[in-house]
Amino acid sequence: MKNKYVMVRGFAFSESSDMEKLRDYAKEGWILEGISGLFYKLRKGEAQDIQYSLDYQEEATKEYFDLFTEAGWTHVVSSGNLMHIFSAPVGTKPIYTECASEMDKYSSIRNQMKRGSIYFAIALITLAVLSVVSEVFIKPIFIPIFLLFILSIFPFTFTFMPYLAYGSRIKKIRKNGKGNSDVTFKFWLIWLIVSLLFLFEGIYGLTRKWYVFAVCFILLGMIYIYLSISDYKKRK
């Protein structure tokens, strides 16, 4: 087997443990080659004792990468032209050594997640209101609007939760002078609360004989319960 795929646990939540995990794989000869969807793509090669570091930079330029090269770091892969992973021999000076620069690193991505969560929250609220109005007054368009409402929950969740995580990192840097450990905020509890809300809506839908919607909400509830359990086990 020349390639191996390892799940990305979430840059916002598990940056440190992911980078450490990639280092452990490199020691076994599995070297990071790219990112494919929600997975790190590793290739089989010679064992290396290298460290990895993640940085955020929108529309990164050649000058940006040159700065890291001069500091001894090699660009490995970028994700969405926003997140960039670098590698260097163990012992190389960290990319960020000052609190202010490390806070800038997370402040930029946090602000982007904040904007995204606001946009999706507005869309979510708008679609929720339209769903209620259409269900009462314009029933033929209720189903497509409600489906859009359900779909909009995902982008809102996956921008709002990282926003909270990056905010938690910034607070940790201000308090402890460093934020290179994983986020310890109890996100599993938020996942669980959301899952219970979905399950409640699903059960309510069954009582109203809205079977399609009830199934959708129950499935969403089960997905969020899985996310809650996974996050709880990871932080236990």
Per-residue confidence (pLDDT) for residue 115, from 0 to 100: 93
Rounded Cα gap, residues 21 and 46, in angstroms:
17
Sequence-distant (6+) residues with CB within 8 A of 42 are 3, 4, 5, 6, 25, 30, 31, 32, 33
97, two tokens: 């050594």
E strand residue ranges, the chain: 3-7, 30-36, 39-44, 50-56, 74-79, 83-89
Per-residue confidence (pLDDT) for residue 116, from 0 to 100: 92
- The dihedral sign for the CA sequence 8, 79, 118, 138: negative
Walk along the chain (236 residues) and give the pLDDT tens digit of each residue.
Answer: 688 888 887 777 778 888 999 999 999 999 999 888 778 999 998 999 999 999 888 878 888 899 889 889 999 998 877 889 999 998 888 877 556 677 777 888 899 899 999 999 999 899 888 888 887 788 788 778 877 887 788 788 888 888 888 888 888 877 776 655 555 556 666 777 778 877 877 887 788 777 777 888 888 788 878 777 776 666 55
169, 182 Cβ separation under 8 angstroms: no
- The count of other CB atoms within 10 Å of the CB of residue 190 is 18
pTM to 2 decimals? 0.71
70, 148 Cβ separation under 8 angstroms: no
